Structure 1
Amino acid sequence: MNKIRRANLSEIAYEYIKNNIISGEYKAEELITENKIAAAIQMSRTPVRRALIQLEAENYVRTIDGIGTLVVGLSLSDLEEIYDVRKALEVQALRTSINRITSQELEKIEQEFYSILEQYDSGLDVNSEDLVWADKHIHDLIVDRSANRYIRKLMSDIEIQIERYKSFAYAETETGREGLIQHLELLGYIKVRDFEKAKVFLRKHIDWSYEELSKVL
């Protein structure tokens, strides 16, 4: 029971710190301390320390001897490397997943996209977290349905960093509606199992995503 409780506290601390980094509450190069975080979420320093170790492994923070733990900023060079790898892996994943994704799965995602698009067209505010989730849903499906388990493993390793950049993009730019429209076009090619058109468009979409985000870094 104690082990479960410790794990739960570490997860709470992890989500708290991670969300503060993604939202910009913690700025790039800001010094964050175990004591302040522990006090803010009313727990001991031990689960906070575990959370920071995990976040350092995921490149959200870095520890410098004699200074402490600093928030890692978003880097254009890191973004370029991540998106180069992402494009190569997703296109390769699409080669097999395009025939393994079910029509029901595609219809469900399509409905989700249209629902968010209706919010835009009605003049309603769209939560950036909803956009990140919708974006993640379709790209995860392409990878998860791939027959290549090595691609799935490699993508899971970089997905954490991709999520951080996407969260920043949707919070800081006006690309949400255009992203939805592009995703719907990609879904259309996948629905008719047209790999060549889907492949070309997926590359174009990922390049567009990179260009939009690079403008605000």
Structure 2
Amino acid sequence: MSQYLSLKDHVYNYISEKINDGSLKPEDKINEQQISDALEISRTPIREALIQLAAEGYLESIPRKGFRVRNLDYNKAKELYEIIGLLDGRIAYLTIDIISEEDIRNMEFLADSMTAAIEQDLSNRYYELQVDFHNTYINLCKNQEMINLLNQLKRSFLRKYYVFGHSQEEIEILKETNQEHYEIIRLFKEKKKEELERYIRDVHWSKEKAIYDSL
């Protein structure tokens, strides 16, 4: 049983990474036989992984046709942004009194590293850094169910990587978003609970930004 579960997890990671790095794009059909050949495993754990990915929002199941990568529409993205903003902001509120100076220094380092990633067009690196940035305080939260729900909602997004070079507008959006990271750091430093919660909820996860995750 443990071997079977590990195979399913292996498939899960394989497919989610393909989505994250852009190898699989919205509405691309999942080829189960191709995955079976690539990973040299049977179809059963592949099917289980696909069902889990569909349940978490990565994929959608098409009757009699299999699975395809989900295309997130603007209205759905707005709804998710609103809920994520509420959870992320509340977690920041709950952790502001226990976050350490070392944690804050690490967040500063990560924000600086994101600036460098933008300048060097390191799209996947930028994504990894911003995940680490938010996880610095999220993982301090004592409410594990809140963390699990937040992470599940974030996994609903297909646009897990950032495509640099397509437009100056996209680059400016990333720069603006990273400036928000510095503001989050400032509010953590100054222990401004309510202001931090509002900023993350209403600015950092503003519903107007959802358009960029629905493209």
How many angstroms apart in 2 are the aligned matches of 1:115 and 1:26?
27
Q: What is residue 124 of structure 1 aligned with on the other side? A: 120
8 Å CA contact 2:110–2:129 kept in 1: the answer is yes
* Partner deviation per Cα, 1:44-69 (whole Å, 9 max, x = no partner): 22221121121111122222332222
Which amino acid in structure 1 is aligned with residue 129 of structure 2? A
Q: TM-score, normalised by structure 2?
A: 0.82
**Once superposed, what is the RMSD of the aligned Cα atoms?**
2.5
Q: 2:133 aligns with which of 127, 133, 138?
A: 138
How many angstroms apart in 2 are the aligned matches of 1:85 and 1:97?
19
How many angstroms apart in 1 are the aligned matches of 2:142 and 2:13?
31
Q: TM-score, normalised by structure 1?
A: 0.81
**Residues 102-181 of structure 1 aligned to structure 2 (within 5 Å):** 102-120=100-118, 123-126=119-122, 128-162=123-157, 164-165=158-159, 167-168=160-161, 170-171=162-163, 173-174=170-171, 175-181=173-179
Aligned length: 207
8 Å CA contact 1:131–1:176 kept in 2: the answer is no
Which runs of 5 or more residues in structure 1 are unaligned? none
1:62 match: secondary structure: strand
The structure that is helix-richer by fraction is: 1
Is residue 16 of structure 1 aligned with residue 11 of structure 2? no
How many angstroms apart in 2 are the aligned matches of 1:105 and 1:44?
44
Comparing 151-160 and 52-61, the one that deviates more? 151-160
* Offset of residue 149 of structure 1: 4.8
Which amino acid in structure 1 is aligned with residue 152 of structure 2? D
Which runs of 5 or more residues in structure 2 are unaligned? 165-169
1:106 match: secondary structure: helix
How many angstroms apart in 1 are the aligned matches of 2:150 and 2:87?
7
The runs of at least 4 consecutive aligned structure 1 residues that moved more than 4 Å come to: 147-150
How many angstroms apart in 1 are the aligned matches of 2:194 and 2:64?
54
8 Å CA contact 2:111–2:133 kept in 1: the answer is no
